[in-house]
Homo-oligomer: A and B are copies of this chain.
Amino acid sequence: MRNISRAELREASVEQLNGICERLREEIFRTVSANGGHLSSNLGAVELTVALHRVFNFPHDKLVFDVGHQCYTHKLLSDRAGLFHTLRKEGGISGFPKRNESPYDCYGAGHAGTAISAALGIAKARDLRKENFSVIALVGDGSFQNGLIFEALNSLAILKTNILIILNDNGMSISPTEGATQEILVDIKEGTHDAKLFEQFGLKYIGGVNGNEFESLLPALEEAKSCLEKGSVLLHVSTRKGLGYPFSENAPTETHGFGPKPIAHTEYPNVLGEELIRLAEQDRRVVVITAAMTDNLGLRPFFERFPERAFDVGICEEHACVLAAALAAGGMRPYFAIYSTFLQRAFDEIIHDVCGQNLPVTFCIDHAGITGPDGETHQGVFDLSYLSFIPNLTVGIPKNTGELRGMLRMGMTMDGPLAIRYPRLGEDGPVTAVQKGKFEILHSTISDIIVFAAGERCIKLARDIRESLRGEVDFTLVNARFLRPLDWELLASRKEKYVVTLEDNAAIGGLGDAIARFYRGSGRILRCFGYADAFIPHGEPESLEEKYGLSREAIAACLREFHARG
C-alpha cells in the first residue's frame, strides 16, 4: 500500500475518507491473514485513527496508545505503509508502537493501562520545556478497568497539565468487558447516566460519538482539540470491533489476535481447561481466576461448566492475585491463570499476599518462553527469574501436558503456593504424578556430562542435540521440572564433572543460577544456557531462540568441548 500524506487526508471528502478506510481495512486484513496479529480491534479503529491523523499533526502532536495492539492504521499512515507487509516478521515492523521504529511512535506499549500516565508525563515535560503540542491517549474500554488508569486519572489534579483522552469503547476487552466501570460506560452511552464519573475527575466529557462515522467523529475531534486549551478532555467514542469483515464483526473474541497458521500441536490451554474441570468436579473448593483471558487460557469450558466458581475480573492482574490469595485464606483452592509477561503486574501481590502468607494459590503461567511475533512486551522470559527468590513458593516446569496435569493435581495437596509455567504449544503426554521437588532422569548413561533441561522446548532441544551427536558425545539427561525446590537429593548424588543447564528463560536468575548455586564450591564445571541479557524483539520463536541464547550449535560445541576435556 502507498503512503497517504496528512495533506491528502485533510483535503479528502468524507466519501474519499471512507474510500481510504476501505483500502486500509483491506491492507490490514490481508496482512493479518498472512502474518497473524490483532484483527478485530484494528478493524474497529480505522476511522478513528484516520480522523486523528487528519485533525492532529503527528509526530509534532503525540499519540500514545494503550496496549498498542490497535496501532496498525497509525503505522500505515505514518510512513510505514511500504513496510506493512513485514508486520510482526523478524526484522520487520512491530505489531505494537515502538519508539525506536518511528518518531510517530512517541511511546511504546504492549501491556494495558499505561497510556494516560504516559500522556501525562509527556504533556508535563512539554509544559516544563515550554513547548506546544497536543498529547492524546487512546485507550480501549477494556483498559479502563485497570488500576493504573485510575491512578493516572487521580493524578490529573496534581499534575495540572492538559491531555486528550480518547476512550475507544467497543464493549470488548479481549473478551466482552465486565464490571462496574463497563456498566457505567454503557449507561453513559445509552444516556441513562450522566457523565459525572469523568467530570468528577476534572475532565471535560464529550460523548455520543460514533467512532466509525466521520460525520460524527470529525466535529467531535475538532471540538476536543479546541477544548484542550482550557483543560483535559475525555472523548468517548463508540466503535465496532471487527467492523468491515463480517466474520470478524461476529466473532471479535476469536479474531482479537490470531496466528497465521493453524495450530498443529496439542495446546497447553486446552489441557488446563480440561484438567481444572476435572479437579472442580472432584472438589468444591476449586475456583478459577483470570484477568480478561478466559478464552486464550483455555478456560471457556470451565466458565460454562462452573460459572459460580469462575472469575474473570478484567484487565486487573493485581486484584486477581489478591482475590486469589483471599479465596485461599477463605478455604478455597484458587487457580489463577495468566500469561507469563502479564503476571509481572502482580509481582508485589505474589510476594505480599500469596507467598508472604503462604497461601495455597496455584499460578498457571501460560505463554512462558519466547512467544514470537508479539515481541518484547509479550515474551515470557523473566518468570523463572522473578519467581526464583520468593520464599514459600514452589515453581514447576512441566515437560509436556501430562506433567502439567500432574502439577495441577499437586496444587490440590499443597499447603502453600505453587507456580506452574508452560509454553502455549506442546506435546501431549500421559498424565504424570509429580512429586514436589523431584526431577526425572530421562536418559542415563556413563558419561562425565549431565544435562539439566527444563520445560518442553529445552528437553526437545537436548534430545535433538543428543541425536545429532550420536556416536560422538553422550550425556545423562534430566528433566529439571522444579526450580523451587530443586531436587537436592538427585543433585547431591550425581558425580558428573560437567554440568549443562538449558532453560527457556533469561539466563540471569533462573534454573542455571539455581543449580550453580547448589554446586557452588563442589568443583564441578558448569555451563548454563538461557536467554541473553536483552529485550527479545518479535520474530519466529525458533529463530529467536537460536539467536538469543539457545543456539544448538553453541550447546553442541559446549558438549563436545566437555567431552574432549574428559
Chain A residues with CB under 8 Å of chain B are 64, 99, 106-111, 113-114, 117-126, 128-129, 145-159, 178-181, 183-184, 193, 196-197, 200-202, 284, 287, 308-309, 311-314, 316, 318-319, 322-332, 342, 344-345, 347-349, 351-353, 355-357, 376-377, 382, 385-386, 388-392, 506-509, 513-514, 516-517, 520-521, 523, 525-528, 533-535
Chain B residues closer than 8 Å to A107, beta-carbon distance: 326, 329, 357
The DSSP consensus for interface residues of chain A is helix
User: With A and B bound together, what is the CA distance between A151 and B323 in angstroms?
Assistant: 11
Query: Are A356 and B329 in touch, CB under 8 angstroms?
Result: no
User: With A and B bound together, what is the CA distance between A525 and B521 in angstroms?
Assistant: 5
User: With A and B bound together, what is the CA distance between A439 and B149 in angstroms?
Assistant: 41
Chain B residues closer than 8 Å to A520, beta-carbon distance: 516, 526-528
A83 to chain B, nearest CB (A): 21
How many copies of this kind of chain does the complex include? Answer: 2
Query: Are B331 and A125 in touch, CB under 8 angstroms?
Result: yes
User: With A and B bound together, what is the CA distance between A18 and B14 in angstroms?
Assistant: 72
A196 to chain B, nearest CB (A): 5
Query: Given contacts A183-B202, A523-B525, could you give 5 more A-B pairs where the C-beta distance is less than 8 Å?
Result: A113-B147, A147-B149, A157-B180, A197-B197, A342-B348
A563 to chain B, nearest CB (A): 15
17 contacts between A and B (CB under 8 A): A111-B352, A121-B325, A125-B327, A125-B329, A125-B331, A128-B308, A145-B151, A147-B148, A151-B314, A152-B322, A153-B180, A155-B323, A344-B347, A347-B348, A392-B535, A516-B517, A523-B523
Chain B residues closer than 8 Å to A196, beta-carbon distance: 196-197, 200
Chain B residues closer than 8 Å to A113, beta-carbon distance: 147, 318
User: With A and B bound together, what is the CA distance between A351 and B347 in angstroms?
Assistant: 12
Query: Are A151 and B316 in touch, CB under 8 angstroms?
Result: yes
User: With A and B bound together, what is the CA distance between A157 and B146 in angstroms?
Assistant: 15
Query: Are A389 and B506 in touch, CB under 8 angstroms?
Result: yes
